[in-house]
Amino acid sequence: MAEQIKVLLTEKEVDDRIQELGDQISKDYAGKEVHLICILKGGSFFMCELAKRITVPVSFDFMSVSSYGGDTKSSGVVRIVKDLDESIQGKDVIVIEDIVDSGRTLSYLLEMLHDRGPKSLRLCTLLDKPSRRVIQVPVDYTGFQIPDEFVVGYGLDYDQKYRNLPYIGVVEFV
């Protein structure tokens, strides 16, 4: 089965919204330093663009968590593939995610990070699919709410393909 990509959000729409998120985070953290935790691999494009637009001091680290494999639906089994390199104790932390779907992975991850003693812990996602939520997670900063479609681009992939698209697209199987 072949696939084709239909544009859902243009590069300009994504860029403009990331600027707005950067402005809001800069305002919310005025006078503080913020520590970003990027969830790999999908969150990397978003975090890089967002970090450039945050005007307060920024530090960051990376985690890799797997729950999809080569499928279009989460398996529900969360594996920590790469953990943080440094402690987050006492830091103002924002977890940067590409998409919030069922909430299973992020619920597990946020609970684990909370137990590590950050001063504050918030979640920022480029895309949110609230209709797919199985476990509620507090999303503090949302780029776009999207319908229940399988999306790619801007770091999101289908079986490791399409991450490099500069827009958000919907995978259509033909």
- Catalytic residue numbers read 101
Q: Which of 141, 103, 157 is nearest to 17 (CA)?
A: 141
Can you tell me the distance from the alpha carbon of 117 to that of 115, in angstroms, rounded to the nearest whole number?
Answer: 5
Query: Phi and psi (nearest 5°) for 39?
Result: -90, 110
Can you tell me the distance from the alpha carbon of 36 to that of 18, in angstroms, rounded to the nearest whole number?
Answer: 15
Asked if 166 and 150 touch (Cβ cutoff 8 Å), the reply is no
Asked if 152 and 169 touch (Cβ cutoff 8 Å), the reply is yes
Can you tell me the distance from the alpha carbon of 39 to that of 30, in angstroms, rounded to the nearest whole number?
Answer: 24
